[in-house]
Amino acid sequence: MNLDKYKPENLKRISKGMINIHPIQRGGILTQDARKILLDWADGYSTCDICLEGRVDLLKNPPVDDFKRDLAEFLKMDDIRFTAGARHAKFVVMKAYAKDGNVIVLDSLAHYTSYIAAELNNLRVYEVPNTGYPEFKINPENYAEVFEKVKEETGKYPTLALLTHVDYRYGNVADVKEVGKICRDYNIPLILNSAFGAGLMEVRGKDLLIDFLICSGHKTWSATAPIGILATNYDYVDVVFKKSEIRGNWSGRAFTKKEIAFFGCSPVYGLPLVTLMASFPTVVKRVKKWDEEIKKARWFVREMEKIEGIRLLGERPKKHTLLHFESPTFHMIAKKHKKRGYFLYHELKKRGIIGVQPGMTKSFKVNVYGLSWKELKTVVDAFKDIAEKYGIGVED
Amino acid sequence: MNLDKYKPENLKRISKGMINIHPIQRGGILTQDARKILLDWADGYSTCDICLEGRVDLLKNPPVDDFKRDLAEFLKMDDIRFTAGARHAKFVVMKAYAKDGNVIVLDSLAHYTSYIAAELNNLRVYEVPNTGYPEFKINPENYAEVFEKVKEETGKYPTLALLTHVDYRYGNVADVKEVGKICRDYNIPLILNSAFGAGLMEVRGKDLLIDFLICSGHKTWSATAPIGILATNYDYVDVVFKKSEIRGNWSGRAFTKKEIAFFGCSPVYGLPLVTLMASFPTVVKRVKKWDEEIKKARWFVREMEKIEGIRLLGERPKKHTLLHFESPTFHMIAKKHKKRGYFLYHELKKRGIIGVQPGMTKSFKVNVYGLSWKELKTVVDAFKDIAEKYGIGVED
């Protein structure tokens, strides 16, 4: 067993010092304030020096209990729990509705973890179609259609619905409120997976007529992984934050304060939760500047589309910073290049840019959130430079 | 909403600069090597700059895939996955055996998360008794007795058994191999929850005749929370690391590489996993020095028992650094003190020591793992000093 590879000098992050445009990285970069608390809170169970109630969400020092209230106010929801990522939050909600034969309706752009959470709880999945190439949009009214289809095919309406606020494939922003209205009409609880939304964009849960709001701290709240936020309204608190009822048959031991689907006490004790708190004041401010981010994203799209063959996929005009481009011209180059599809990755890396999936050239995704205009220009220039190097046309 | 409380200068850890003897803190203190990589890896999804297979455990850079193999060798098991803490690992194993009416047998000293994982998977729990006050020991042969009882009462033998390697109430160390033998005789898979064991003590899974070995990175491997290790043998890989079979009814989307009970890709992408790697070379070395830790623990017990009324609970001689003392004399003081049970906490804090549960005086738990002889003496002197201050006798 050679242990040298785990030495600090060998555990270097490949993106260090580069512009990282990986779709999942931009919103997770720690704030300066979060960086300041790292050394104090990075040890194991750091949040748990004084735990009086056996639940991390009830801690007074650090002020997690207060933080829950502030977060609830910020998200305009009633109550909050923390989870091991948005994926765990989805599991928690669906667990409360797990029963053989029950159906969840979700949009066909949903993150894979939404499907897996359903599978883990034996829920049958019905998908709401999208409009296909090139926009791949979800039409809210299709939710009603699929609800009716479920009724027809299974004899009852679905138990749950899930909508992906910002999908990870095209960065489309869903019309949440319209879906919310339909779900209210049918009396079907609606989960909003806002893993790419809240934390960057302002999200006011009750205004959107949603019942569960799920956020990803490491994806878009500048927190250390893993940390998810699960917000709900009073109607659902007892159902979803269900407490333990088990009892030892010999000892009589019971754990009546522990919440089952969070494994008793959610495994977020420690740094992930504290970085989420430390970044929170910055997040509260930055969501107000979302328009500026969209302006940058749209400029980026215009510049990228000056490269022959490059074309944005997903809705127009663009409403998010996660961008998916089809790139048949790069793909043509890849077919003849000795590095094959990896040439684009390597060419970008040489220019100090990382985050495009190695091997991908037919289409590729980037996220420009939080890049300065200067960095944005560096990225555009790099793509144009690579195009020109391989004889792909670039408009002036 | 007052956001000042989240400013770095207000997010101070209460234990900073103090000797922390909290039972769950000692084994989670980061190594110097782990501290060195914090700034590089603390951002959100830091491990995922280059993900080719969509699973964090298969990453080549950082070398997670290699790490799995090295860990398996170190623990003498066949295969490894990472989880959001030991609690999530227990959920994963039990999920594979979740069926109404199925029974799990566990020791009556088990951590609450073992009971909750069973509850979450609708497993019925049967407890193996312990010997009660003052040693609270688990006799291996009682596993066979309880297996027979389950057969008698439910018509079939239990589906699973769980043993707590080191219990969190008394720090007793279980006779794993004897329980392993019994489980092999009955052909019942055995989970060893080694959350307080592996990472401090040497654990060689196959020699112990266990089928699942569960470790807590933040509890005893000097890693940032949350990170658990689930190790198993080839017989169980396909059962427990079960892959997704769900398929979108409209899109046909499928996620056949994703492992269901890990939420598709385990939510440990990021700092927790990298600190576990960075601390690993130190952990490999330190388990060889366990005898020295035991020597310190036994010395500490002898010194503490010089205080009138203070008496170790749990097995003798002591085989672990987690110590539980009954303290009727301190409890007498608490009854008359204006701070009531909190006096002990405050008196220790004044002396630079933290980690005894505020309000506890009838009995209290500490962990002396990794304390230097000098720190150990500081702690002993503090307890003696407090005793003398309140007129409790202290032997020379």
**Distance between alpha carbon B69 and the CA centroid of its chain, in Å?**
22
pLDDT at site A22 = 98
CB A45 within 8 A of CB B218: yes
Residues B114 and B254 in one domain: yes
Instruction: Considering only the beta carbons, identify the residue of B225, B267, B284 that sits closest to A87.
Output: B267
Residues A383 and A245 in one domain: no
DSSP for A311-333 reads EEES-SS--SSEEEEE-HHHHHH
Q: Within a domain: residue B56?
A: yes
CB A24 within 8 A of CB A369: no
Give the residue from B286, B301, B319 where a domain finishes: B286
Q: Kindly indicate the confidence band of residue A48, based on its pLDDT and cuts at 50, 70 and 90.
A: very high
ipTM rounded to 2 decimals: 0.97
Q: Which residues of B touch A62 (CB under 8 A)?
A: 11, 13
Q: Within a domain: residue A110?
A: yes
Instruction: Considering only the beta carbons, identify the residue of A13, A125, A226 that sits closest to B268.
Output: A226
Residues B122 and B265 in one domain: yes
CB B325 within 8 A of CB B313: yes
Residues A334 and A242 in one domain: no
Q: What would the pLDDT profile of A75-132 be if each residue is shown by its tens digit?
A: 999 999 999 999 999 999 999 999 989 999 999 999 999 999 999 999 999 999 999 9
**Residue B11 to residue A277, Cβ atoms within 8 A:** yes
Residues A74 and A149 in one domain: yes
Find which of B43, B131, B153 to mutate to test the A interface (most A CBs within 10 Å of its CB): B43
Alpha-carbon distance of B99 to A363, in angstroms, equals: 44
Alpha-carbon distance of B373 to B380, in angstroms, equals: 10
- Whether pTM > 0.90 for this model: the answer is yes
Q: Within a domain: residue A396?
A: no
For residue B360, the chain A residue with the least C-alpha distance is A52
Residues B271 and B302 in one domain: no
Residues A136 and A50 in one domain: yes
pLDDT at site B126 = 98
Our count of domains for chain A comes to 2
Alpha-carbon distance of B42 to B332, in angstroms, equals: 47
- Residue A23, preceding bond cis, omega within 30 degrees? no
- pLDDT (mean) for A166-183: 98
Q: Which helix (H) or strand (E) holds B181?
A: helix B176-186
**Residue A116 to residue B264, Cβ atoms within 8 A:** yes
Closest CA to A391 of A350, A341, A311, A337: A337
Q: Kindly indicate the confidence band of residue A333, based on its pLDDT and cuts at 50, 70 and 90.
A: very high
Q: Which helix (H) or strand (E) holds A106?
A: strand A103-107
Domain enclosing residue A353, as ranges: 4-28+289-389
Print burial letters for B155-190: b (CB count within 10 Å at least 16), e (below 16): eeebbbbbbbbbbbbbbbbbbbebbbbbbeebebbb
Sheet strand arrangement including A363-367: A311-313, A322-326, A363-367
Q: Within a domain: residue A18?
A: yes
Residues B217 and B263 in one domain: yes
Find which of A32, A38, A43 to mutate to test the B interface (most B CBs within 10 Å of its CB): A43
Give the residue from B254, B286, B318 where a domain finishes: B286
Closest approach of A306 to chain B, Cα-based (Å): 27
Residues A71 and A159 in one domain: yes
Q: Which residues of B touch A120 (CB under 8 A)?
A: 95, 260-261, 263
Q: What would the pLDDT profile of B54-109 be if each residue is shown by its tens digit?
A: 999 999 999 999 999 999 999 999 999 999 999 999 999 999 999 989 999 999 99
Residues A303 and A269 in one domain: no
Alpha-carbon distance of B361 to B31, in angstroms, equals: 32
Q: Within a domain: residue A395?
A: no
Alpha-carbon distance of B205 to B202, in angstroms, equals: 10
DSSP for B132-168 reads -TTT-PPPTHHHHHHHHHHHHHHSS--SEEEEESB-T
For residue B246, the chain A residue with the least C-alpha distance is A119
Closest CA to B346 of B333, B331, B356: B356
Q: What would the pLDDT profile of B320-352 be if each residue is shown by its tens digit?
A: 999 999 999 999 999 999 999 999 999 999 999
The answer to whether A73 contacts chain B (CB < 8 Å) is: yes
Instruction: Considering only the beta carbons, identify the residue of B40, B226, B250 that sits closest to A270.
Output: B226
Give the residue from A286, A304, A320 where a domain finishes: A286
Residues B207 and B327 in one domain: no
Q: Within a domain: residue B266?
A: yes
Q: Kindly indicate the confidence band of residue B174, based on its pLDDT and cuts at 50, 70 and 90.
A: very high
Q: Within a domain: residue A41?
A: yes
Considering only the C-alpha atoms of chain A, give the largest distance between any 2 of them, rounded to a whole number of Å.
79
* CATH number of the domain where residue B296 is located: 3.90.1150.10
The residue to which tokens 């055995």 are assigned: B190
Print burial letters for A318-331: b (CB count within 10 Å at least 16), e (below 16): bbbbbbbbbbebbb
Residues A22 and A40 in one domain: no
Instruction: Considering only the beta carbons, identify the residue of B44, B226, B255 that sits closest to A218.
Output: B44
* CATH number of the domain where residue A179 is located: 3.40.640.10
Q: Within a domain: residue B162?
A: yes
Q: What would the pLDDT profile of B120-139 be if each residue is shown by its tens digit?
A: 999 999 999 999 999 999 99
Closest CA to B169 of B24, B57, B328: B24
Instruction: Considering only the beta carbons, identify the residue of B33, B40, B88 that sits closest to A12.
Output: B40
pLDDT at site B371 = 98
